[in-house]
Chains A and B, each alone.
Chain A
Amino acid sequence: MASPIKSLDFKRFLPMLKDRQANFAAARADLPAGSDQARVIAKALHPKRQYLKVAAVTERAADCKSFTLVPDPERGTEALAYFGAGKYLTVFETIGGLPVTRAYSISSAPKDALAGRYELTVKRVDGGLMSQYILNNWAVGTPVEVSAPSGNFEYQPLRDAETVVCLAGGSGITPFLSMANAIADGDEDFNMVLLYGSRSKENILFYDELDALTKRTDKVKVVHVLSDEGAANDLPGAEAGFLTAALIQKYAPANAPYSVFLCGPQQMYAFVDKELEQLNLPRKYVRHEMFGEFHDPASQDDYPADVPATVKLTVTVQDETTTVTGSSSDSVMQILEKNGIAVPSRCRSGECGFCHSHLLSGKVYVPKHLEYRRLADAQFGCIHPCCSFPLTDLVLNVPPAK
């Protein structure tokens, strides 16, 4: 008996090639068009750069200002990228002729972006190059260059509990202000219990805005936690002291799971993380916003001895190779920037991987808590320059910043 495959007519093969070319020949000769909403969304949410200008400046405290940023169509930005509350923008500046970048959480509501408005709030950081520059130089009309909204510090209903206890310290209030507005606008849906740590009533940022929000929606509750002695006495409803486990328990739901989100300075995380240990929350319910650049690698227990103070970096960007020197206490990214070499950067905290580069020779130190590299990166000598500190002279390939 013949194989059953023989029942298929082999002659059908003969015209296949001719027919295929005939199909091509019969088609339109226009540039390929057609709707591509996937691409429209991708480009709208993730522009390479956004060119903005300062439209208003609001003094929030003696050392803190908010900047209203609007699109600058003359430089090519017609509309602002929409964002999920909690995301940050990386600001690109040139200070003293050298490239500098910093990430700032967006403090305005997602809805405002549709109306062409972002707000960034900048608080002076002691020795902070960018914060001081912005506070001293940005005024109405100043051109500003920022990234697309970035980061993962957002509420996710499939992962997070229905109630989130948000722990804010100082200017760490900014992403929570955006989230609270998003709740009031109906763009996010969760119960926010905001425990906001400040030194005294005068140091509270956005006091009136937060107060107004609690009146707009009963899903946002705000508790000010004031650490200066006696400060809480001046403010009805305020708690005295710090963001402790007891305080979290007092305001968290008693019989339902809750998430804890943290945003604030490094010292606050060190304190609050210890407090959280007592609460024994599943790891999925505790989320930290990144606290920004890490300094002083020598402070870490596992930092090796006998690291030379000065190191030489030979860096190739595309087809240009340069040799520079820098301090081994600076990150690779800082050394390059201080020598006028812009490096791709977003979070500057190790996490986003935007600065992914190839280390061809030499050794670097990466603080353990900033080790967000992919597994294969270590095997193939890839580093995140923003949190890699040279231990020897280095030879590396870094992509161009733009």
Chain B
Amino acid sequence: MKQYDVIVIGAGNGGLAAAATCARAGLSTLLLERHNIPGGSASSFVRGRFEFEPSLHELSGIGTPEDPGMVEVFFNNLGADVDWCKDRSTFRLVIPAKEGDKDAFLNENGVWVTVDARMPVGFENFSRKLDELVPGSYDSAMAAFGLAEKMYKAFDALGEGDSLGGILKAVKYMPDFMRMTSHTLKEGLDALGMPKKAQDIFNTYWCYMGSPASRFDFLYYMAMLHGYIKNGTGIPRLRSHAMSLAIDKVIRDHGGDIWYNSEVTKVLMKDGKPAGVVVNGTKEVYGKRFICNSAPNFVWNDLFEKKDVPEKQLKMTNARSIAAALTTVYLGMNKTKEELGITDYSVFIAPVSDSDEQFARCHDYFSGYCIINCLNEIIPDCTPKGTSQLFLTSMTFGDVMRGVQPQDYKKFKTRVAKDMIETCEKALNISIQPYIEEIEIALPPTFSRYLNTPQGTPYGYMLDKWDSMIPRTLQFAQDQPFDNFIFCGATQERGDGYGCAYHSGEKAAKLTIQAMKEGN
């Protein structure tokens, strides 16, 4: 029976990155995936004459030729070929006015709003625009971006680091590093004196990581925002499926094996360590080392016998909270974006401006929060002539499904989608529903089905004050369950996001390659 050097469980972004990195280093690599295509969230699907991007809003890791972003560098290093489309916008935040709002004004769409912020790329431009919207916020925004620039270097030093060495290196680059990582986004911006209203605009991307301003750490938010604002973002021309297939190809070209429709149903133990896996309940495959892109909750419950699970792992999963999930609506429209009156790639519509207040509302089946994206803004020919596609996203906790029975699910989905569509129609003063040619609605059960994550979350565990990115990074080694079994993906140090997941897979692979070299 063949024994692989490394078996990678799950071909999400983390697993793909791990398998590609291992295969390129010459390790005999087997990547196992339960679904019939790679990518997890990084995929696509076809309905009628439309091909939808299922999860990606934009990649902060696509920069400029002179200053390429993390994701671009990762793909270039792998030799994976993807055609990127560059987005030179950031976001537009619209907060519709409620009755009695004293600061309401009529915006360009003819809607009464309290905030309408269309933010440009570039630190200087962004800060000026913020100051225009909320006078007196320029200095604090520039100060925050200044910290982000410095911190970006510290970030690199942390990548590989063990606990102490990592901190020392990071602090050397940036004395304020410890301050930022131990304080929340809100505390950080308060300290810089940013007015609250400006903070609410500044914090618009909080939902990308699923953690609000009073719980998300200042350092990590700035690292993320830095990526989006500095050079703008990018998106693959042929949907995320192209990214995942490009990595799939790298793995195969370097001698790696990929088995689709091949679900790991059990991990086989030998001498207290994983030694193999059972695939689809029948086939045993053996490996020296393992990288796991599946969520620890399910790994411990479904793949291991309880006696073999390290106690600390059980405690870790129980101590952490499952992050929020999403509701998404995909619309193939039989009108162009111009005919529909869509003017922006990405509009965030929020019923309230404060991220914590918004976060608390996400236990409702629909919180009123909705991001509307129009891919044609970046890729004009992504749909046939005379048509366009829209992508609506709302955050919602998986627990909103409590009490919903399978037979009620279809009506429940339609109700949520209707509310989301109407929210966008009202906030932008446009008409959507009469022009829907194709529609698909994804709720937490959809994400649960395709991603196999607890409560359908794509975010992993909540990035909370006590379990934030830097402590996760510094304690990475001691948090792994066995010396030949490393986790990767959204449940790990950097949380969700393509770049974060690729990074986690690459890191797990490098540690695995290192261990193989050392003969362990």
Contact = CB atoms under 8 A, between A and B. Distances in A.
Interface stretch (B43-51, B59-67, B346-354, B367-375): B43-51
Contacts of A44: 406
B143 interface: yes
Contact of B398 (A31, A32, A36): A36
Nearest to A354: B36
B378 to A, nearest CB: 15
Contacts of A319: 2, 257
Given A9-B179, A28-B315, A159-B439, A380 B246 contact: yes
A21 B180 contact: no
Nearest to A351: B46
Contacts of A300: none
B242 A379 contact: yes
Interface of A: 3-10, 12-13, 16-17, 19-21, 23-32, 34-42, 44-46, 81-82, 84, 110, 114, 152, 156-159, 187, 282-284, 318-319, 344, 351, 353-356, 358, 372-377, 379-380, 382, 397, 399-402
B467 A379 contact: no
Interface stretch (B96-104, B448-456, B508-516): B448-456
A5 B259 contact: no
B187 interface: yes
A375 B238 contact: yes
Contacts of B187: 8
B444 A32 contact: no
Summarize B's interface: helix, strand, loop or mixed.
helix
B172 interface: no
Contact of A24 (B309, B315, B436): B315
Contact of A402 (B143, B261, B316, B454): B261
Nearest to A111: B407
Contacts of B297: 32
Interface stretch (B125-133, B201-209, B317-325): B317-325
Interface in B267-294: 279-280, 283
Given A24-B315, A152-B47, A380-B249, A284 B334 contact: yes
A327 to B, nearest CB: 26
A377 B242 CA distance: 8
A84 B316 CA distance: 40
A5 B143 contact: yes
A283 B192 contact: no
Interface of B: 2, 36-37, 44-49, 51, 140, 143, 147, 163, 176, 178-183, 187-188, 191-193, 238-239, 241-242, 245-246, 248-249, 252, 257-262, 279-280, 283, 296-297, 300-301, 306, 309, 311-312, 314-319, 322, 325, 334, 398-399, 401-407, 409-410, 414, 417-418, 421, 433, 435-439, 443-449, 454-456, 466-467, 470-471, 474-475, 478
Contacts of A358: 248, 252
Given A158-B436, A159-B438, A319-B2, A36 B455 contact: yes
**Across the A-B interface, the 10 shortest Cβ-Cβ residue pairs:** A399-B261, A376-B242, A27-B319, A284-B437, A38-B444, A13-B178, A13-B182, A42-B449, A37-B401, A41-B445
Contacts of B315: 24-29
Contacts of A27: 315-316, 318-319
Contacts of A29: 311, 314-315, 318
A81 B405 CA distance: 12
Given A27-B316, A376-B242, A380-B248, A39 B406 contact: no
Contacts of B417: 158
B398 A400 contact: no
A86 to B, nearest CB: 11
B334 A283 contact: yes
25 contacts: A6-B176, A13-B181, A16-B182, A20-B467, A20-B471, A27-B315, A29-B314, A31-B306, A32-B297, A32-B454, A159-B438, A283-B48, A283-B49, A318-B259, A318-B279, A353-B37, A353-B45, A358-B252, A374-B239, A374-B241, A376-B238, A376-B239, A376-B245, A380-B242, A400-B262
B439 A156 contact: yes
A17 B471 contact: yes
A12 B183 contact: yes
A29 B318 CA distance: 7
B317 A38 contact: no
B193 A4 contact: yes
Contacts of B261: 344, 399-402
B13 to A, nearest CB: 15
A142 to B, nearest CB: 25
A34 B457 CA distance: 14
A35 B399 contact: yes
A85 B160 CA distance: 53
A308 B32 CA distance: 36
Contacts of B36: 344, 353-356, 399
Nearest to A39: B448
A41 B404 contact: yes
Contacts of A402: 261, 280
A37 B44 contact: no
A31 B455 contact: no
Contacts of A39: 445, 448, 454-456
B44 A374 contact: yes
A276 B317 CA distance: 57
Contacts of A374: 44-46, 51, 238-239, 241
A4 B179 CA distance: 11
A157 B436 CA distance: 11
B178 A42 contact: no
B91 to A, nearest CB: 25
Nearest to A316: B257
B239 to A, nearest CB: 6
A97 to B, nearest CB: 20
Residue of B48, B410, B466 with highest tally of chain A CB at under 10 A: B410
Contacts of A159: 436-439
A35 B403 CA distance: 11
Given A36-B454, A39-B456, A344-B36, 11 more contacts: A19-B466, A23-B467, A28-B318, A32-B317, A36-B455, A284-B435, A318-B279, A375-B238, A376-B242, A377-B241, A400-B259
A81 B407 CA distance: 9
A373 B437 CA distance: 19
Contacts of A19: 466
A373 B444 CA distance: 26
Nearest to A37: B401
Given A37-B404, A110-B407, A375-B238, A30 B318 contact: yes
B178 A10 contact: yes
A19 B407 CA distance: 45
Contacts of B178: 10, 13
A82 B447 contact: no
A24 B321 CA distance: 12
A263 to B, nearest CB: 16
Nearest to B52: A374
A8 B183 CA distance: 8
B1 to A, nearest CB: 10
Nearest to B295: A32
Contacts of B445: 37-39, 41-42, 45
Contacts of A13: 178-179, 181-182
Contacts of A158: 414, 417-418, 421, 433, 436, 439
A64 to B, nearest CB: 29
B406 A45 contact: yes
